[in-house]
Structure 1
Amino acid sequence: MSGLGRTLSQVRITGDGRCLFRSVAYGACIRSGKPSPSEKLQKDLADELRSKVADEFVKRRDHTEWFLEGDFESYVTQIRKPHIWGGEPELLMCCHVLQMPISVYMYTKGSGHEGPKIIAEYGQEYGKEDPIRVLYDGYGHYDALQDPIRRTTSRS
């Protein structure tokens, strides 16, 4: 991957409304040196992360309410539901919940290099090295990105 001096591999994540949370939870496991989470563990970790993210919105209401669409209480109620998609506000809260940096990549047309490029970075106050890496498809789906050198086996 250009700019990283290495190639990252895409890890397909189930598109069940939890893909952002699954991708971030997957990356957090890998970053922490844990095995790649199984499908079932991804779901459980995603749901747990989603709950903590909703709580983080409430905790940081004074700093987050202004950039959420619509009524704050309704937004938080909706984001707690497992089939509701997450986006930029949720990525920002994920980095605070996990206290880890997150980089979002995307394939862009005419970028002049192979592989996706970074389109957003969150949580740089938690360090800039070895962020959780997710790949956004531009249409609402997120996959995980993993350094093949750190690849580990799945666990249940």
Structure 2
Amino acid sequence: MASDDQPLGELEARLGEITLEDVNSRHRRERKELQAKLQALKKNAPKNDKKKRKEFLEQMAQLEGEMEQRHKLELQAAEKAAAMAATIKASEPQEAVDQQKSPESAQNQEDEHDHEQEHEQQPMQQRVSKAQKRRDKKEREARKREEEIREELEHAEKQPSAKLIELQQINEKLASRQVMIHRIPSDGDCLYNAVRHQLTIHGLPSPSVSELRLETANYVRAHKDTLICYMTHQDTGDLLNDAQFEEYCQAITNTHAWGGHIELKALSSMLRVPIEVLQAEGAPTKLGEEFGGAPLVICYHRHMYQLGEHYNSTLPLGG
């Protein structure tokens, strides 16, 4: 298969014995294959990730543009080679006859030959015309697709990001409670630091992050029978076996493993305080309501950072 920057002369040499129909047939097959490839890319592209979607649209436009340019060069080479072959084939027999005839008869024969050659070339011209029409149609379709992609990219760039939309929704909920976001560093310990900050502003003892992690792991181990049915492997989705469960607990204690609902449940239970988690959509998640008192209020962000979810703490407005 020729590359986009291959000289036209080399294409002609390779396509000299291939008919226009062969070239058009292969082009149709390649277009179908490219559409299948683009569908696969689109299926696997994250639906809610604007950046990934933009990259996909740009890749799609590039692939289609490269194919259309290559097809254009190959059609030009095939048409020129076919026309040259037809001219040579039509002229060879006449040249042999001309050598055996007088100048006058040769002139008459040449006139007849010109007429016949013109007649023979008409089907070729018709075929070239049809090929040109098909090529023009494909070029118009390609330009239309490029314009649609460009419009969609411009529209996507004008839309607020998922992060901004989420932040606005959370801020609206916080404002109704007369509180605001208190930012927590994104270092894997955000859940534990958010809880520590809440303990501090509520005037409660606030253990260190390492102490909170150790006590959380101990609570999970002590309540394995009730918690393990909710714990799945991040790669397979299968429930954890005993060895994987212990690895999970070790990661809580010894690494910056991110915490989720199980860790929230453990923190609420061992600290004996209610915890309320606000998020952009849906009702707040409440844990430990049986302990009474003012809840620790933290925020859950799905789109705050590209690396994953994040927790922030809250402060009273003006605090």
| Bin of the TM-score, shorter chain as denominator length | 0.7 to 0.9
**Are 1:142 and 2:306 matched, yes or no?**
no
Shift of 1:4: 8.5
| Secondary structure in 1 matching 2:254 | coil
Q: Is there any run of 5+ residues in structure 2 with no aligned partner, and where?
A: 1-171, 233-239, 303-307
Question: Greater Rg, structure 1 or structure 2?
Answer: 2
Name the amino acid aligned to 1:134: I
Q: Which moved more, 1:53-62 or 1:140-149?
A: 140-149
Q: Is there any run of 5+ residues in structure 1 with no aligned partner, and where?
A: 38-43, 109-116, 152-156
Supply the distance in 1 between the matched residues of 2:298 and 2:316 (Cα, whole angstroms).
12
| Secondary structure in 2 matching 1:133 | strand
**Are 1:87 and 2:260 matched, yes or no?**
yes
1:126 aligned partner: 291
Supply the distance in 1 between the matched residues of 2:285 and 2:219 (Cα, whole angstroms).
20
Preserved CA contact (<8 Å) 1:78 1:84: yes
**Are 1:31 and 2:194 matched, yes or no?**
no
1:113 aligned partner: none
1:63 aligned partner: 226
Tell me: CA distance 1:118–1:24, structure 2 relative to 1, closer, same or farther (3 Å): farther
Shift of 1:19: 0.1
| Secondary structure in 1 matching 2:309 | coil
Aligned-residue identity in percent: 26
**Are 1:46 and 2:209 matched, yes or no?**
yes
Tell me: CA distance 1:92–1:141, structure 2 relative to 1, closer, same or farther (3 Å): same
Greater helix proportion: 2
Name the amino acid aligned to 1:136: Y
* Higher RCO, 1 vs 2 (CA within 8 Å, ≥6 residues apart): 1
Greater strand proportion: 1
Shift of 1:147: 2.3
Name the amino acid aligned to 1:47: S
Shift of 1:142: 0.3
Supply the distance in 2 between the matched residues of 1:27 and 1:52 (Cα, whole angstroms).
17
> After the TM superposition, which parts of structure 1 deviate over 6 Å for at least 4 consecutive aligned residues?
none
1:111 aligned partner: none
Normalised to the residue count of structure 2, the TM-score between the two structures is 0.38
Name the amino acid aligned to 2:184: I
**CA RMSD after TM alignment:** 2.4
| Secondary structure in 2 matching 1:28 | helix
Tell me: CA distance 1:48–1:3, structure 2 relative to 1, closer, same or farther (3 Å): closer
Normalised to the residue count of structure 1, the TM-score between the two structures is 0.74
| Secondary structure in 2 matching 1:137 | strand
Per-residue displacement from partner, 1:69-89 (whole Å, max 9, x unpaired)?
Answer: 223112111222332100110
Per-residue displacement from partner, 1:114-150 (whole Å, max 9, x unpaired)?
Answer: xxx74311111111x420011011141100012247x
1:7 aligned partner: 178
Preserved CA contact (<8 Å) 1:102 1:122: yes
